[in-house]
């Protein structure tokens, strides 16, 4: 039976036995015709193709720039086709059985530069001390400045930030106990800059359980309020509000630490990631640092 007849038999089975829609049949025909044509150029029949052939075909799709989602769809068609061949005893095995499905790479997180973070923090500090603002405005600006300092100093999540309790402040304000996902606690150190702002804030903080109290049902500042204030401050500081969010500051913390030489496991602990795989979205920073190290230190780099 020719390759064309094999394909027609498979598509007929998909239509008659599985009730595949017309568009599905058309997609299978396109995907499998391309695969069979590629096998033909390798002088290989579908009944003879092995796992290496399937993997090489997927590599060719990736090299041509096909999206991982599209490659995964094509592989799904190949799986159905080879299962059909095995079920009809046209071959004894399924070469797609242990081929991993292509996965899209996670998008790299948006990160502000150190200079942009410094501009944001400096502007926040200026607002907190501006005599043109009312007392209430200066208090709100002081709170925002401290929140920004804490976010960039610890990399905590915005939910962890607004839910900080006064008792979370440890050892002369040099450390914080952060309660993260799954109610798990971690202790993180503060920079001197963040510690100084925190001490000033505690000095004037009225009695109560929350570090950032507010007249809300929860008793503390809401995430949405902080995010809104951050967007407004970013625009006033000359930064695009679209590029700045609480999570961007968390990304900046991790990326800047790794760029400065921190260990990935240490950053995992500070961020409160249960799995190192989550922290590995920042490996692009490590790759750049290692590349610079080799180029600068290897005796034959020139």
Q: Name residue, tokens 């962890």.
A: 160
In the DSSP assignment, the letter for residue 155 is: -
Choosing from 51, 110, 223, 273, the catalytic residue is 273
Is 247 in the active site? yes
Choosing from 47, 110, 166, 247, the catalytic residue is 247
Is 179 in the active site? no
Residue 124 CB neighbour total at 10 angstroms: 24
Closest residue by Cα to residue 246 from 180, 158, 163: 158
**Spatial distance between the Cα atoms of 80 and 269, rounded to a whole number of angstroms:** 43
Is 181 in the active site? yes
Each as own residue / partner, the long-range contacts of residues 119-122 (CB below 8 Å, 24 or more positions apart, any chain) are 119/237, 119/238, 119/239, 120/148, 120/233, 120/234, 120/237, 120/239, 120/244, 121/145, 121/148, 121/149, 121/152
Residues in the chain: 302
Choosing from 28, 35, 57, 282, the catalytic residue is 282
Choosing from 142, 197, 250, 256, the catalytic residue is 250
Choosing from 157, 197, 220, 251, the catalytic residue is 157
Residue 254 tokens, joined: 């991790």
Choosing from 103, 181, 228, 243, the catalytic residue is 181
Is 284 in the active site? no
Is 265 in the active site? no
Is 273 in the active site? yes
- Residues assigned a catalytic role: 157, 181, 247, 250, 273, 282
């Amino acid at each position: 039976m020719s390759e064309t007849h094999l394909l027609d038999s498979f598509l007929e089975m998909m239509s008659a036995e599985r009730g595949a829609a017309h568009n599905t049949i058309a997609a299978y025909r396109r995907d499998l015709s391309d695969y069979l044509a590629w096998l033909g150029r390798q002088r290989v029949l579908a009944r003879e193709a092995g796992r290496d052939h399937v993997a090489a075909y997927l590599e060719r799709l990736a090299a041509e720039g096909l999206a991982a989602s599209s490659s995964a769809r094509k592989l799904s068609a190949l799986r159905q086709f080879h299962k059909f061949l095995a079920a009809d005893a046209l071959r004894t095995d399924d070469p797609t059985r242990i081929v991993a499905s292509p996965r899209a790479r996670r998008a790299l997180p948006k990160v502000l530069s150190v200079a942009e973070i410094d501009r944001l923090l400096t502007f926040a500090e200026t607002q907190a001390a501006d005599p043109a603002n009312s007392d209430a405005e200066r208090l709100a600006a002081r709170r925002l400045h401290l929140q920004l300092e804490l976010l960039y100093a610890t990399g905590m999540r915005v939910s962890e930030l607004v839910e900080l309790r006064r008792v979370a402040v440890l050892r002369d304000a040099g450390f914080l106990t952060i309660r993260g996902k799954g109610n798990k606690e971690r202790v993180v150190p503060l920079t001197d800059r963040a510690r100084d702002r925190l001490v000033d804030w505690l000095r004037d903080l009225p009695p109560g359980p929350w570090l950032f109290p507010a007249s809300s049902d929860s008793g503390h500042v809401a995430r949405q309020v902080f995010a809104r204030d951050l967007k407004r401050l970013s625009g006033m500081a000359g930064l695009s509000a679209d590029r700045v969010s609480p999570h961007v500051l968390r990304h900046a913390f991790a990326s800047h630490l790794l760029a400065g030489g921190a260990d990935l496991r240490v950053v995992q602990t500070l961020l409160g990631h249960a799995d190192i795989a989550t922290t590995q979205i920042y490996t692009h920073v490590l790759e750049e640092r290692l590349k610079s190290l080799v180029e600068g230190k290897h005796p034959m780099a020139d």
